[in-house]
């Protein structure tokens, strides 16, 4: 699954181009994918993620400037990547298609992923901070 990210470049909150390949080579990588910075629940999860020890990134659909503002406010020390076209978000499977009123609509599924040596080890939908904490606690064994 991580190989699907190879060759994709996204901007981080400092407007630096980040090649996803650098993360694909990580031995233990946590990725948090969420829609945008307008939901306080997701901002809380970023704060929790900031305290997580290990390689980590967050990906959302917001602009670089919006991510810079949030990173400054929360003193984020990891990359928040901007994916407004949802390329990586789709490849990771955080978008579902649902039929509403006879039309297909995209539904964003905030999701946390752990990759070990490029292989997906664990994935969970996380809508609330307590779900995110449960996910982080459940992967504690992977960091040992």
Q: For each of the chain's 144 residues, which pLDDT tens digit applies? A: 677 787 899 999 999 999 988 887 777 899 999 999 999 999 999 999 999 988 999 999 999 999 999 999 999 999 999 999 999 999 999 999 999 899 999 999 999 999 888 888 999 999 999 999 999 999 887 665
- Among the listed residues 104, 100, 9, 105, the one whose alpha carbon sits nearest the alpha carbon of residue 59: 9
Label residue 76 left, alpha or beta by phi (over 0 means left) and psi (-120 to 50 means alpha): beta
- What top-level class would CATH report for the domain 2-143? alpha beta
């Amino acid at each position: 699954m991580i190989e699907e990210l190879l060759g994709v470049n996204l901007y981080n909150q400092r407007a630096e181009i980040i090649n996803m390949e650098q993360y694909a080579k990580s031995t233990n990588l946590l990725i948090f994918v969420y829609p945008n910075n307008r939901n306080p629940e997701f901002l809380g999860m970023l704060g929790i993620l900031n305290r997580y020890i290990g390689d980590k990134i967050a990906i959302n659909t917001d602009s670089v400037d919006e991510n810079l503002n949030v990173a400054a406010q929360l003193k984020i020390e990891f990359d928040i990547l901007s994916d407004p076209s949802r390329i990586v978000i789709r490849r990771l499977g955080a978008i579902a298609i649902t039929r509403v009123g006879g039309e297909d609509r995209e539904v964003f599924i905030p999701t946390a992923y752990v990759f070990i040596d490029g292989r997906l080890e664990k994935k969970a939908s996380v809508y609330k901070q307590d779900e995110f904490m449960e996910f982080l606690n459940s992967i504690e064994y992977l960091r040992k």
